[in-house]
Amino acid sequence: MRRFVVVSGASGGGKSTLIAALAAQGIATVPEPGRRIVAAALAGDGRGLPWAEPALFARRAVALALQDWQAACALSGPVVFDRGLLDAVAAFEHATGALPPQAEGLGARYHRQVWLAPPWPALYRQDAERRQGPAQALAEYHRLRAFLPRFGYEIKDLPRVPVLTRAAILRAALA
């Protein structure tokens, strides 16, 4: 769908901050599935955490991202996804070595251009929900750079500029 735009990239690259800025400006957005899964696991039984059970985490991320995509179909206008099904399927493949059935048709679910946030050491912070270090974030970024073109997506790098400038760049692309 041309009106569904994905912001992907390295952990700690400023994606969620950008998504929040776009939401504050009235753009429809969808929060990152992985962060929601981790927050729920930390508040509950702890099952499905990416660092403890990567395959279970990836299965949950794929399911939640697909629900998000289906719910977004009821919205009008552009919708910006924080990671979305693209990253969930990439995480699944990384954790299991195989693609999930939900990968079928993946190349037609979002706008062909995916915005990729590069690693940004000045922004990177570990917290309860983000335990991987900068080296793992960089590896994730390179995995996504290799993964996305396999499904026909064109990578557009997000510049390392203030969040409101990033938001203006994305808003201009959505117009």
Measured CA distances, 115 to 80, 112, 167 (Å):
10, 10, 12
* Spatial contact of 114 and 155, defined as CB atoms under 8 Å apart: yes
Question: How many angstroms separate the CA atoms of 82 and 121, rounded?
Answer: 20
Domain boundaries along the sequence of the chain: 4-174
What pLDDT, on the 0 to 100 scale, is given for residue 124? Answer: 54
* Spatial contact of 82 and 19, defined as CB atoms under 8 Å apart: yes
* Spatial contact of 84 and 147, defined as CB atoms under 8 Å apart: no
Q: Write out the two tokens for 82.
A: 């924080």
* Spatial contact of 79 and 39, defined as CB atoms under 8 Å apart: no
Exposed, middle or buried by CB within 10 Å (0-12, 13-18, 19+), for 108?
Answer: exposed
What pLDDT, on the 0 to 100 scale, is given for residue 2? Answer: 82
Q: For 131-166, what is each residue's pLDDT tens digit?
A: 577 788 889 999 999 999 999 999 999 999 999 999
Question: How many angstroms separate the CA atoms of 69 and 30, rounded?
Answer: 9
Of 8-17, 60-69, 97-106, give the lowest mean pLDDT range: 8-17
Q: For 78-112, what is each residue's pLDDT tens digit?
A: 999 999 999 999 999 999 999 999 999 999 999 99
Number of CB atoms found within 10 A of residue 61's CB: 29
What pLDDT, on the 0 to 100 scale, is given for residue 32? Answer: 92
Of 20-34, 57-71, 81-95, 134-148, give the lowest mean pLDDT range: 134-148
Q: Write out the two tokens for 169.
A: 């760049």
What pLDDT, on the 0 to 100 scale, is given for residue 34? Answer: 87
pTM: 0.91
Q: Write out the two tokens for 119.
A: 């690693």
Query: Which residue has better confidence, 45 or 139?
Result: 139
Three-state SS at 60: helix
What pLDDT, on the 0 to 100 scale, is given for residue 51? Answer: 74
**Token pair 């979002």 in the structure block, residue:** 110
User: Class for domain 4-174, per CATH?
Assistant: alpha beta
What pLDDT, on the 0 to 100 scale, is given for residue 126? Answer: 57
